[in-house]
């Protein structure tokens, strides 16, 4: 593989993946620098998907001699031995690889000299002290550079538009390859195959460089020096002190000081404001609870709180023996066995190849209209006409 193994990558203080946080809240970088990252199953799963995708991309898009082909076969076997590997990962990675292949074909159509690179270490330290990251895919052809990133997670949708992580990768790649290829325009793409999402932000190099000089450079200098102002916001969700940060607490407590005036009932305008505050407080409360729980588990005493045993449900210690005993006693099956039931589409897709599943029951799968949800007006979905819609079962999106 061309870069350090995915799981072994070191993290820079001002890495690209944390850029939206340290640009908005520069002192967060030094504040959190010695706090270790909680290892998560999702991160390990993402690492496995990246390893698999890199092998597949190399196999599909690079001219490999027989020795290299053998090496890649071995790497593929290893990647498929991961505990996270299964039909869902195979399908998602294949979708990603197909999209990258399409982009490379488009680049080749522009110029036969198109080049493609995987897992490149990208150095953007001209703007960010010691800043570097690893770009999944770089394609360059005829003055256009594609910077492509795989996001395997499906919990949080991530868009390429104005995305600081992608922009920093683009800066590093531009710095490295501009003198060779003369790059004028950058296409930054995030592919999130498990959400069927592909977004591409296109910016001229001049705009990227202006952002680097006016936004990134000053914020990075403050962050590196441990200076600047703490600023809470959306970016806090990725911060290692999100549960015990005073600036975030102050910001949220300020939100609680909202003053209601007469008359006795809130107006719809006020309800709109409260909804925003409620969303913010819900996220914060969850993070504070998580932090407090971890502290208590590690033996810290939180005044007025204690750790107790939670509720538990009875379990059958040996299901096979229990089954046999009930069978021997001639109890009817339907009294102690669950009825057979078809799995949901998500589970089926995890266990059966996506194409095979589509061929077998694709015509039986439909997507009914979703239930109405109330979201901020900045949401990209088209607004429903409240007069024409049946709003039975209305709920809030959390």
Q: Which residue, 33 or 207, has its beta carbon nearer to ligand SF4?
A: 33
Binding of ligand SF4 by 236 (CB under 6 A): yes
Structure tokens at 41: 């199953």
Quick one: which segment of 136-144, 148-156, 161-169, 236-244 binds ligand SF4 (CB under 6 A)?
Answer: 236-244
In this structure, the number of other CB atoms found within 10 A of the CB of residue 23 comes to: 21
Name the minimum Å distance from CB 231 to ligand SF4: 6
| Strands (DSSP E) found in 174-305 | 185-192, 197-204
**Phi-psi region for residue 234, left (φ > 0), alpha (ψ -120 to 50) or beta?**
alpha
Rounded Cα distance, 321 and 266, in Å: 61
List the end-to-end C-alpha distance of the chain, in Å, as a whole number.
40
Candidates 20, 28, 91, 252; binder of ligand SF4 (CB under 6 A) is 28
Q: Which residue, 85 or 230, has its beta carbon nearer to ligand SF4?
A: 230
Binding of ligand SF4 by 230 (CB under 6 A): yes
Rounded Cα distance, 286 and 278, in Å: 12
Name the minimum Å distance from CB 21 to ligand SF4: 5
Quick one: which segment of 190-198, 208-216, 233-241, 253-261 binds ligand SF4 (CB under 6 A)?
Answer: 233-241
Structure tokens at 281: 């407080």
Q: Which residue, 117 or 288, has its beta carbon nearer to ligand SF4?
A: 288
Q: Could you say which DSSP state residue 237 is in?
A: G
Peptide bond into 224 cis (omega under 30): no
Binding of ligand SF4 by 21 (CB under 6 A): yes
Binding of ligand SF4 by 235 (CB under 6 A): yes
Q: Which residue, 231 or 350, has its beta carbon nearer to ligand SF4?
A: 231
Binding of ligand SF4 by 31 (CB under 6 A): yes
Quick one: which segment of 134-142, 224-232, 321-329, 359-367 binds ligand SF4 (CB under 6 A)?
Answer: 224-232
What DSSP line would sit under 104-122, residue for residue?
Answer: HHHHHHH-TT-EEEEEEEE
Q: Binding-site residue total for ligand SF4 (CB under 6 A)?
A: 15
For the segment 247-286, give every residue that binds ligand SF4 (CB under 6 A).
Answer: 247-248
Binding of ligand SF4 by 99 (CB under 6 A): no
Q: Which residue, 35 or 278, has its beta carbon nearer to ligand SF4?
A: 35
Q: Which residue, 28 or 163, has its beta carbon nearer to ligand SF4?
A: 28
In this structure, the number of other CB atoms found within 10 A of the CB of residue 21 comes to: 24
Q: How many degrees, rounded to 5, is the angle at CA 291 between CA 286 and CA 293?
A: 95
What DSSP line would sit under 7-62, residue for residue?
Answer: GG----TT-STTHHHHHHSTTHHHHTTTSPPPP-HHHHHHHHHHHHHHHHHHHHHS
Binding of ligand SF4 by 242 (CB under 6 A): yes
Name the minimum Å distance from CB 34 to ligand SF4: 14
Interface positions with ligand SF4 (CB under 6 A): 21, 25, 28, 31, 230-232, 235-236, 239, 241-242, 245, 247-248
């Amino acid at each position: 593989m061309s870069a350090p193994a995915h799981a072994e990558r070191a993290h820079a203080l001002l890495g690209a993946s944390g850029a939206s946080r340290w640009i908005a809240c520069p002192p967060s970088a030094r504040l959190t620098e010695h706090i270790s990252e909680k290892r998560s199953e999702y991160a390990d799963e993402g690492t496995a998907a990246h390893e698999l995708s890199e092998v597949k991309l190399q196999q599909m898009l690079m001219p490999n001699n027989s020795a290299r082909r053998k090496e890649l076969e071995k790497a593929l076997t290893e990647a498929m031995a991961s505990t996270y590997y299964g039909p869902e990962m195979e399908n998602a990675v294949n979708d990603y690889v197909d999209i990258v292949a399409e982009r490379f074909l488009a680049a080749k159509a522009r110029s036969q000299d198109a080049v493609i690179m995987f897992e490149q270490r990208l150095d953007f330290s001209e703007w960010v002290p010691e800043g570097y990251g690893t770009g999944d895919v770089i394609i360059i052809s005829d003055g256009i550079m594609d910077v492509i990133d795989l996001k395997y997670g499906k919990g949080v949708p991530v868009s390429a538009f104005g995305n600081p992580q992608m922009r920093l990768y683009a800066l590093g790649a531009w710095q490295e390859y501009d003198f060779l290829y003369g790059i004028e325009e950058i296409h930054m793409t995030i592919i999130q195959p498990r959400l069927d999402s592909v977004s591409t932000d296109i910016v001229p190099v001049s705009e990227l460089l202006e952002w680097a000089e006016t936004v990134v450079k000053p914020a990075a200098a403050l962050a590196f020096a441990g200076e600047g102002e703490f600023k809470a916001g959306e970016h806090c969700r990725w911060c290692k002190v999100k549960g015990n940060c005073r600036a975030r607490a102050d910001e949220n407590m300020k939100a609680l000081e909202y003053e209601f005036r007469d008359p006795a009932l809130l107006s719809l305008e006020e309800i709109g404001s409260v909804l925003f505050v409620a969303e913010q407080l819900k996220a914060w409360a969850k993070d504070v609870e998580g932090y407090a729980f971890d502290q208590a588990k590690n033996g810290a005493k939180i005044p007025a709180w204690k750790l107790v045993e939670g509720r538990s449900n009875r379990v059958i210690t040996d299901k096979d023996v229990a089954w046999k005993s009930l069978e021997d006693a001639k109890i009817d099956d339907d009294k102690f066995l669950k009825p057979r039931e078809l799995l949901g589409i998500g589970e089926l897709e995890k266990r059966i190849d996506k194409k095979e599943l589509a061929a077998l029951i694709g015509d039986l799968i439909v997507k009914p209209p979703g239930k109405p949800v109330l979201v901020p007006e900045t949401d990209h979905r088209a607004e429903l006409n409240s007069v024409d819609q049946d709003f039975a079962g209305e709920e809030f999106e959390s």
